[in-house]
Amino acid sequence: MRRLLAILVLALLVLAGVWWLGNLPGVVVVRLGDITASARVPVAAIGLVLLFLLLYAIVRLLLGLVRLPRTLRRWRGLRRRALGDRAVTRALVALAAGEAGDARHHAGRALRLLGPVPQSLVLVAEAARLAALPGEAESAYGRLAADPEAAFLGLRGLIRSAIEREDWAQANALAARAEAAHPGAAWLRAERVRLAVRSQDWSAALALAGPEAPRAAFAAAAATAATDPSEGLRLARRAFEADPALAPAALAYAQRLRESGREGRALKVIRRAWSESPHPDLAEFALSTVVEPLARMRAAQELVAENPTHVESRFLLARAALAAGLTGEARRHAEAAAAGGLDQRRVWMLLAEIADAEAPEGGGVAASLAALRRAATAEPDPAWRCGVCGAEHASWHAACTNCGEAGSLNWRGPARSSAELLAPRLSGPAVQPE
Ligand SMILES: [Zn+2]
């Protein structure tokens, strides 16, 4: 409504102007040399307006001609940009679909149309990776790494390439540069832990590891590798406090305590670890300084005092009793271990030894043979086995040397099914109290 009113008012004003102009009296005379032209004022006014419009149009046309190259350049730029954007989209789709040839084609087109900007370089690098052309990928990542804004992207690609080549020194150097370019990135942190594990730099792995990482394993390995005794002791205590049930952590701590002359404290650590999760290496450490068989039996009893009915405790007492000539005690404990579910070769071999010791003149042959037959069909003895790939290791490592998984080694028998591979660490079922 307002608009309509405005148009009406404008039309009235124009009409009034035309009417006023038409009624203007007088004549305009223009004399140019000998030529004289005259017109009525209204006609002259309209001619003046037309002349102005013509001049204006000529000036605009001339300006347009002067600006033509720039306009054409801008138009071509916009067109390249639109085509480049389309090539980026197509390259992304091809990458997502895993079509290496198409991805390389469209990424190359994006690079030609858009120039070496981060998005085209990333696409060229990723397409080359997909096409298994590491040299081409690394060249594009290298160009990205030189861009101050996108350096992290380039370094990330170069780190991945170095890891694939298993060049740990190069990967570590690149990771340090990436940390400087983009401090505190979660991906980089996880990758640096992986690198530290691969290069067995346990102190670095421990320093970088988050709460979900196997920190006790890292600390135990770092403590064992430490050359400075006080640093070794500090790391070992940290490992033991993080997981008292991890035998290698307890052993590392106890060993450092023993080296510093604190034997009583070392044995206390071993007893605590045994109460959490018994392991034969703990018993070996605790009994290593005791020679006399009866004294070893007493030391074993002391060690298992807080966990006396565990099958490992039973097995240890049986072996110590047999060594001390206490065959009755030995049989009682060995049979309790077997009854408690420890159906392993070592138990039946020990029972065969006990049978032989009970009747030295050969009277126990039948019992010994029966035990040996059971040993043949019993489960294999426990060992350090990877919970991820199932590989067996002669000694404990903070990371599986087969699959590289950190903190995956468990003391156990071989897994019967793949589901068991992922089960938590176990050291054999506990015997119910008598
Ligand atoms: Zn493994």
**What CATH number does residue 285 fall under?**
1.25.40
Would you state the pLDDT for residue 431? Answer: 40
CA distance 133 to 125: 9
CA distance 238 to 204: 15
Span from the CA of 333 to the centroid of ligand 1 (angstroms)? 35
Whether the pLDDT of residue 434 is over 60: the answer is no
Q: Are 284 and 299 in contact (CB under 8 A)?
A: no
- Across 243-248, average pLDDT: 94
Span from the CA of 380 to the centroid of ligand 1 (angstroms)? 19
CA distance 252 to 12: 103
Span from the CA of 144 to the centroid of ligand 1 (angstroms)? 35
Work out the mean pLDDT of the chain and round it to a whole number: 88
Span from the CA of 421 to the centroid of ligand 1 (angstroms)? 10
Co-location of 372 and 390 in the same domain: no
Span from the CA of 385 to the centroid of ligand 1 (angstroms)? 8
Q: Is position 331 within any domain? A: yes
Would you state the pLDDT for residue 415? Answer: 66
The residues, any chain, with a CB within 8 Å of residue 133's CB and separated by 6 or more, are: none
Q: Is position 212 within any domain? A: no
User: Where among 362, 378, 394 does a domain terminate?
Assistant: 378
Instruction: Quick: pLDDT tens for 275-293.
Output: 999 999 999 999 999 999 9
Q: Are 118 and 144 in contact (CB under 8 A)?
A: yes
Would you state the pLDDT for residue 427? Answer: 41
Co-location of 330 and 277 in the same domain: no
Tokens of 307: 């966990």
Span from the CA of 407 to the centroid of ligand 1 (angstroms)? 10
Q: Are 156 and 175 in contact (CB under 8 A)?
A: no
Span from the CA of 352 to the centroid of ligand 1 (angstroms)? 35
Span from the CA of 283 to the centroid of ligand 1 (angstroms)? 27
CA distance 385 to 154: 38
Span from the CA of 218 to the centroid of ligand 1 (angstroms)? 16
The residues, any chain, with a CB within 8 Å of residue 331's CB and separated by 6 or more, are: 318, 351, 354, 358
Q: Is position 205 within any domain? A: no
CA distance 429 to 338: 11
Instruction: Quick: pLDDT tens for 328-338.
Output: 999 999 999 99
Co-location of 394 and 432 in the same domain: yes
Span from the CA of 386 to the centroid of ligand 1 (angstroms)? 5
Instruction: Quick: pLDDT tens for 75-117.
Output: 999 999 999 999 999 999 999 999 999 999 999 999 999 999 9
Closest CA to 217 of 425, 400, 399, 390: 399
Span from the CA of 408 to the centroid of ligand 1 (angstroms)? 7
User: Where among 289, 310, 329 does a domain terminate?
Assistant: 289
Burial of 133 (0-12, 13-18, 19+ CB in 10 A): middle
Span from the CA of 230 to the centroid of ligand 1 (angstroms)? 32
Which residues are paired to 260 by β-bridges?
Answer: none
Long-range contacts of range 381-385, CB-CB < 8 Å, 24 or more positions apart? 381/344, 381/345, 381/346, 381/413, 382/344, 382/411, 382/412, 382/413, 382/427, 382/428, 383/411, 383/412, 383/413, 384/409, 384/410, 384/411, 385/409, 385/410, 385/411, 385/412, 385/413, 385/414, 385/415
Residue type for 225, please? A
Co-location of 426 and 398 in the same domain: yes
Q: Is position 194 within any domain? A: no
Would you state the pLDDT for residue 148? Answer: 87
Burial of 122 (0-12, 13-18, 19+ CB in 10 A): buried
Co-location of 390 and 425 in the same domain: yes
Instruction: Quick: pLDDT tens for 343-382.
Output: 899 999 999 999 988 887 766 788 888 889 988 888 889 9
Co-location of 405 and 422 in the same domain: yes
The residue segments making up the domain with residue 393 are 382-434
Instruction: Quick: pLDDT tens for 386-399.
Output: 999 999 999 999 99
Co-location of 365 and 394 in the same domain: no
Q: Are 371 and 406 in contact (CB under 8 A)?
A: no
Span from the CA of 415 to the centroid of ligand 1 (angstroms)? 13
Whether the pLDDT of residue 426 is over 70: the answer is no
Whether the pLDDT of residue 301 is over 80: the answer is yes
Instruction: Quick: pLDDT tens for 118-127.
Output: 999 999 999 9
Residue type for 50, please? L
CA distance 370 to 378: 12
CA distance 286 to 345: 24
Instruction: Report which listed range, 31-45, 161-175, 284-298, is most confident.
Output: 284-298
CA distance 359 to 338: 21
CA distance 330 to 55: 121
Co-location of 415 and 403 in the same domain: yes
Share of residues in the chain with pLDDT > 70 (%): 95
Span from the CA of 403 to the centroid of ligand 1 (angstroms)? 4
Q: Is position 32 within any domain? A: no
Span from the CA of 252 to the centroid of ligand 1 (angstroms)? 22
Share of residues in the chain with pLDDT > 90 (%): 62
Span from the CA of 406 to the centroid of ligand 1 (angstroms)? 9
Co-location of 373 and 397 in the same domain: no
Closest CA to 344 of 414, 430, 247: 414
Residues whose beta carbons lie less than 5 angstroms from ion ligand 1: 386, 388-389, 391, 400, 402-403
Co-location of 307 and 372 in the same domain: yes
pLDDT-based confidence at residue 416 (cuts at 50, 70, 90): low
Span from the CA of 393 to the centroid of ligand 1 (angstroms)? 10
pLDDT-based confidence at residue 191 (cuts at 50, 70, 90): confident
Co-location of 234 and 282 in the same domain: yes
Would you state the pLDDT for residue 209? Answer: 83
Q: Is position 103 within any domain? A: no
User: Where among 289, 306, 335 does a domain terminate?
Assistant: 289
Q: Name the domain count of the chain.
A: 3
Q: Is position 399 within any domain? A: yes
Q: Is position 426 within any domain? A: yes
Span from the CA of 392 to the centroid of ligand 1 (angstroms)? 8
